[in-house]
Structure 1
């Protein structure tokens, strides 16, 4: 299992929030709201934790999301990369891979040049919804949504979103709230919290 320094995950992810993910021509603003799969057998009260394997596709049946995935790293200025357009979701490659212990981080645009992005309906996610992440090793990590939150970018709870956890979890992030024509960005972020509940 790959270990990643927590400060790299939290610091770069926080920088993503400042970078914004809106466009000058937004769609309707987002308002508030395998190979062997397991490395370690789960205790009776919890699901299996998977070994490291890069994510290739994210599927959210309730939202009609089915997107290929790309790796997101750090830009030269230390901010986290964002997908180059609205058609593909990204996995922040300094976070755990989905299914590993810790909070795996996925990000996608809410809209792009006036068209809905991959995470356009992320704000509509509800507790109990399923998120499936297909991985390079042939397994699919299955997550169940626990909650959906909306945060102002200037008061984002970095530790709560990106801090250490004792389970395999998932964070999906996009922009939301009001669109600021002056900055070309949305004022808030939508964050979906989910936990690994199975593997296929």
Structure 2
């Protein structure tokens, strides 16, 4: 990847994770699903089916059929403080990708991030923690191709133990990380960690 891991780690914990909806309702009963421990262990059989890398091309849409996500993507840049910017919270069906990094489908680790909720209710990645190994993530690209990723693992990390290198580090094959808020929830701090989907390129069309 081409950015500082510490900076992007900080923004996924802070800027995405206020828990506006739960705070507004004063309740934790509407908390989003969290991945089970079993989904956090990568399946070597699933991970074996890697496809050839695609040429670079920006993505403009993400679909995750298993959790009914079908959302446009905006490019995300670094803020003046060196952290990754995030999509506008008011646009709940909008995700973003780090446009100065790897494009989804080319060799390396591409990053997509989105909110779990906003003040009005669930947002684009509210159900991300319900994904299972073997589920598919589709990225429409501006060159007309669709990059197909297979989920290897879904993990949740507390902010104090977020593994920057594991999540954002370079890869020798085309990989994808999809990130939103998760972990414990506190009315004082919002969400206390992140849900991270690990996936690899398994095909294209």
Does the aligned pair in 2 maintain the 1:109–1:174 contact within 8 Å? yes
Match of 1:87 in 2: 93
1:164 alignment partner in structure 2: 170
Q: Which range moved further: 166-175 or 79-88? A: 79-88
- CA-to-aligned-CA distance 1:59-78 (integer Å, 9 cap, x gap): 00111000000011111111
Aligned to 1:40: none
Count of equivalent residues: 183
Partner of 1:72: 76
Displacement of 1:181 in angstroms is: 1.6
Structure 1: distance between partners of 2:167 and 2:129? 16
Q: CA RMSD in A?
A: 1.6
Shift in Å at residue 31 of structure 1? 4.5
Q: Does 1:186 align with 2:199?
A: no
2:180 aligns with 174
Match for residue 103 of structure 2?
97
1:24 aligns with 2:28: no
Q: Aligned equivalents of 2:159 and 2:119: distance in 1? A: 21
TM-score (norm 2): 0.84
Q: Name the residue aligned to 1:11.
A: 6
1:150 alignment counterpart: 156
Within 2, Cα distance between the matches of 1:129 and 1:116?
A: 21
Q: Which residue of the partner structure matches residue 42 of structure 1?
A: none
Contact 2:116 2:124 in 1 (8 A): yes
Contact map agreement 2:21 2:122 (CA 8 A) in 1: no
- Give the equivalent residue in structure 2 for 1:62: 66
Q: Gaps (5+ residues) in structure 2?
A: 36-48
| Counterparts of 2:145 and 2:52, CA distance in 1 | 12
Mapped to 2, the partners of 1:154 and 1:17 lie a distance apart of: 12
CA contact (8 A) 1:67 1:118 kept: yes
**Alignment map for 1:125-136 (pairs within 5 Å):** 125-136=131-142
* 1:87-121 Cα shifts (integer Å, max 9, x gaps): 20100113200001111000010111141110000
Aligned 8 A contact 1:12 1:79 in 2: yes
Contact 1:17 1:153 in 2 (8 A): no
Distance 1:143 1:83 in 2: 22
Native 8 Å contact 2:145 2:204 kept in 1 = yes
SS at match of 1:49: coil
